[in-house]
Amino acid sequence: MLSNLKGITGNINRTVDRVYAKAVKKTGAVVDGETASLLKVKTLEAVSTASAIGRNIGDLNGDGKIDVEDLKVAAERAGIVWEKVDPDLKTALAAGGLVGIGVNVIPFVGQTIAVPTFAVTTAYVFLIAKLAGFKKK
């Protein structure tokens, strides 16, 4: 488990490559090299955004639940303008947030892996959404 965590946080480019490969396999999308490179750059940006938001997430508006409204507040705290976030990334952040918060309750390691899990899940869902419009194999 620790080696997986080190892989997630230690080399984000390699992690994005793995997530990209899994998303392409899942969607069956056919993407040229230039588009693949652009998608990977966008995914790195998505991971960066998710990491910044993930460090601030919680029940930030005091309504007793963690939801999209809390993501908006966390984004503001991280200096990110929610209205300017890509719609596919907003959806991916919501999915990543659910997984990250779920992992957070694991004793001893939950808080350590919550943000990386949030970021990687966000990256995967983001790529699935972006690849959905491409021609299938």
User: Going by C-beta distance under 8 Å and a sequence separation of 6 or more, which residues neighbour residue 5?
Assistant: 109, 112, 113, 116
Helical pair 33-54 and 12-27, crossing angle rounded to 10 deg: 120
* pLDDT beyond 60 at 99: yes
* pLDDT beyond 80 at 7: no
Choice between 114 and 72, residue whose per-residue pLDDT is larger:
72
End-to-end CA distance of the chain: 34
* pLDDT beyond 90 at 23: yes
Q: What pTM was computed for the model?
A: 0.79
Task: Using DSSP, state whether 1 is helix, strand or coil.
Answer: coil
Q: Phi and psi of 29, rounded to 5°?
A: -70, 145
Distance in angstroms (rounded) separating the CA atoms of residues 30 and 134:
6
**Nearest-CA neighbor of 123 among 3, 7, 21, 4?**
21
Which range among 16-20, 83-87, 92-96 shows the weakest confidence by mean pLDDT?
Answer: 92-96
Residue reference for tokens 């965590």: 5
Average predicted confidence (pLDDT) for the chain: 82
What DSSP letter does each residue of 4-40 carry, written as one string? Answer: HHHHHHH-HHHHHHHHHHHHHHHHTB---HHHHHHHH
